[in-house]
Amino acid sequence: MGGSWVNKGGVKCGLGLFQHYRNAQTICWPEEDHHRWSDLILREILQNTITVIMGPKDSGKTHTVSKYGLIDYLAFPECTLILISSTDMRGLEMRVWGDLKSLFERARERFDWIPGTVVDSKHAICTDNILEDNVIRDMRKGCLCVPCLSSSGQYVGISKYVGIKQKRRRLLGDEVTFMKESFLDSLANLNSGDFKGVFMGNPIGQDDPLDKLGEPVDGWASMPEPEKTSVWKNRFINGRTINLVGTDSPNFDYPQDKGPRYPYMINQRSIDSVVSFYGKDSLQYHSQCKGTRRSGLNARRVINAELCRECGAMDTAVWKGTNRTVIAGLDAAYGGVGGDRCVGGHIEFGEDVDGNVLLQVYQPSIVPINQKLEMSPETQIANWVKRYCDARDIPPANFFYDATGRGSLGTALARVWSANVEPLEFGGNPSERPVSLDLYVWDTRERKRRLKLCSEHYSKFVTELWFSVRYAIESRQLRGLPEDVMREGGMREWKMTRSDKIEIEAKEDTKERMGRSPDLFDWLVTCVEGARRRGFAIKRIGNTESEANSLEWIQEYRNRNRELRQAHALTFT
C-alpha cells in the first residue's frame, strides 16, 4: 500500500515506506547498524526515481544500497528484477555481489522460508527455487549481477538487458565513475514504468558518467564544494544526488576521546593518516577522505617544478664526512629504437651536516650506440657501463637496470663485466613493503588497523618506483635534481584505478601525448630503487602528532605477544 493509507474515517495510517524498509532490515539483520548516512540514503532512494550517491571510501554506500535492494526484492519476489552493475567480475565479487550474497545468506539463516536461490555460476539470486528437466529458471525474477567489462577488458555495458520486461525494475550501479559514456544511453532506455536507478562512486570531476549523473540542475559551477553532507536535485526528472562528506562522518556524532563508533567507516584516525602523508590538496584526500568533486583533480603529474623547488630537490647536499654509498643505474634502449634514449649515470646517499640522510643526483649521460658497428648494441652498452662504474669504483652489486624484456642485456653485462649486477622488473607487481609508517588501512578480516602495503596502494611496480622518487622529494631527502630530469618527471600523468590504486599512465601514452619518452626520469627511479635496496630509507611524511600515533601498532603487537606467551606458558603446582 506504499507504506501508508487513509482509513474509512479519513485518518492516515501506517509508518511510511522508509520506516517499513528500515524495520525490515532490522528484522533480517539485527546486528547491522543504522546511522544518519544509511537513513539518508534509504529515504532518498525510496522517494526518488534516480539517486546518485557520491562519497569517500569506507562510507558504507555499497553496503547500504545492497540492503535496500535485497529488501526490495524480497518484498516483491515474483515481479522484481534488480540489475546490479559494476566494472568487472572481480569488482562484483569483492564489492556489491559479495555483500549481497552475505546479506542474503544471513537473512536465510534466520528465516528459511524467504524466497530466492543463489546461483553463483550466474552471479544471481533467482526466485525460482527448483530447476527441473521441463522447467526453465526465469532469470527475469531476482537479482542479477552484470559486469560491464569483459574478461579481456572490453566494455560491454548493460545494453543487452535494456529490453527485459518486468513490472518492477531496479538498476544498482557500483563504481559508476569508471563506466563508459554508453552506460548513460542504456539508462535512458530503462527509465520507464516502475523503475529506480541508484548509482554510486567516488567523485573525481573528470566528466565521467558519475559526474554527469550527479550534476546539479544549474551545472557544477553553481555548486560550491560542500563541507557537510549535502543533497541536491540533479538533471533527471525526480532525481537527487547525495554527497556524503567524509569529514562529516557519523563517527563525528560521538565523543572523539574513545575509539570510533563505527570502526569500519571513515573516522578521524583514517583521515589524519591520509592528510599526514598526502596533504589536504591531494587527490587522495578529496577522493578518500572528503569524497567531494574537484574539476580536473584526477589529471595529475607525478612531480612538478613547484614541488621540487619548494622541497629543495634542486639544491646541493653538504655532506658530513665521506661515508657515502654510490649507486649506478641504466634505462636501456638500443640505438634509438622507438625514439627512446639509453640513459646511464649515478647517484649517492649519505648523511649531511645536519644529520639527515640525503640522496644526491648527478647529471646522467646518454649512452652512445653505433648501429654501424659489428658489435651488438647490448655489448656496446655493457662496455660503457663497465668503464663508467670502474672509473667511479662502483661495484657490480650497486648497478641496477630495468630487465623487462631485456634478457640479452643481462647476458652481455655478465660476459663483459659481472653477473652480480641487479636487474629490476618494471613490469612486475608492486612490492609488499609498507607505503609509509603513517598510512593505515582497516583490515576487515582481522578487524584492526594495519599499515597499508604497496601492493594495495599501487597497481604496478613501475608506479611504486615513480612515486618513491616523489615521496623522497616531499621528504626533503633528494638533492641535485637536474632540470631536464625534473621536467621529464612532470611529463607523466597518474590516476586512480577501478580498485582505488594509483597507476601512472603507460609510457606509450606519455610518448604519444608529449612527443618523447621520459627516459631520464626512468633512469632516476631505477637508481632510487637501487639506493632503497642498499639501505636508503625514505622518511615518513607527517607531523609530530601523527608520528606518535603511528607507533600504536608497536604497542598492539607487544600486547599480543605478551598474551601469546602467557597462554602457552607452563604452570607448575
Region of 405 on the Ramachandran plot (φ > 0 left; ψ -120 to 50 alpha; else beta): left
On whether the CB atoms of residues 282 and 462 are closer than 8 A, the answer is no
Q: How far apart are CA 540 and CA 13, in angstroms?
A: 60
Least Cα distance to 454 among 435, 470, 440, 438 occurs for 435
Q: Would you state the cell numbers that stand for residue 413, as one nine-digit string?
A: 653485462
Q: Is 468 helix (H, G, I), strand (E, B) or coil?
A: helix
* Location of each CATH 3.40.50.300 domain in the chain: 17-254
Measured from the Cβ of residue 365, the count of other Cβ atoms closer than 10 Å reads: 14
pLDDT value of residue 367: 92
On whether the CB atoms of residues 400 and 329 are closer than 8 A, the answer is yes
Q: How far apart are CA 26 and CA 109, in angstroms?
A: 14
Least Cα distance to 399 among 424, 364, 365, 362 occurs for 424
pLDDT value of residue 279: 73
- Tell me the residue ranges of DSSP E strands in 44-141: 50-54, 80-86, 117-119, 124-126
pLDDT value of residue 337: 46
- Tell me the residue ranges of DSSP E strands in 465-561: 478-479, 493-496, 502-504
As its CATH architecture, domain 303-549 has: 2-Layer Sandwich (3.30)
Strand order in the sheet with 239-243: 117-119, 124-126, 142-147, 80-86, 168-173, 194-201, 50-54, 239-243, 230-233
Q: What is the DSSP letter of 230?
A: E
* Location of each CATH 3.30.420.240 domain in the chain: 303-549
Q: How far apart are CA 460 and CA 117, in angstroms?
A: 39
Q: How far apart are CA 238 and CA 216, in angstroms?
A: 12
pLDDT value of residue 259: 85
Q: What is the mean pLDDT of each run of 10 residues along the chain (573 residues)?
A: 89 93 96 95 96 92 94 94 82 80 93 90 81 56 81 61 80 83 71 86 77 89 88 92 95 89 91 79 76 63 85 94 94 67 95 94 92 88 96 96 84 94 90 77 75 89 93 93 89 80 87 78 96 87 41 63 78 70
Paired strand residues for 462 = none
Q: What is the DSSP letter of 217?
A: T
Any idea what the Cα angle at residue 334 is, between residues 330 and 340, rounded to 5°? 75
Provide the CATH number for the domain formed by 17-254 in this structure. 3.40.50.300
